[in-house]
Amino acid sequence: MAKPRADITACDHLLATSGGTPYPFCTESVLDEQAGVTDAIVRCRTCGQAYLIEMLDWSGDLFERRRFRTSHLDDDVVEKFMHNRRRGSCDINRVGAEWFAVQSQAQLTDLELTLDVRRAVVLEVRRLPAETDIPMAHWRERLR
């Protein structure tokens, strides 16, 4: 569990998104998926801020309704990751290490996104109350 830092907030473009609209971000890299994205590096379409989104839980007949925690990423972290990914690796441990590097440098925000990953629309955007403890373990360890 972790609490979002008070001085790190998501950009207004994500915060101002209302339910039912298309994603306000583009996807730079999908880190994990299960019948749709579960973890990804995304970038705001308006200001270009990069984020790590990581699934908290899912619901719906096709598990299409997914809640995500959202963390800020600096451009140099994203660039390093994309550079390494382009170079390619068959070593699964290396891929894991690069993903871990992204996670460890991501800064948690209080923004919770609920997305429909089949229709690629935002269902809900909300700021979590201060001091909310957000689960940080990967969903594959929490959802079984």
102 neighbors 3 (Cβ within 8 angstroms)? no
Nearer to Zn ion, 29 or 49 (CB): 49
Q: Give Cα separations from 125 to 17, 69, 79, 95 (angstroms).
A: 7, 11, 27, 30
The nearest distance, CB 81 to Zn ion, in angstroms, is: 20
The nearest distance, CB 142 to Zn ion, in angstroms, is: 29
CB atoms < 10 A from the CB of 116, how many?
A: 18
The nearest distance, CB 42 to Zn ion, in angstroms, is: 11
Cα separation, 10 vs 44, in Å, equals: 10
Residues that bind Zn ion (CB under 5 A): 11, 13, 44, 46-47, 49
| Residue corresponding to tokens 């569990």 | 1
Nearer to Zn ion, 11 or 58 (CB): 11
Nearer to Zn ion, 42 or 58 (CB): 42
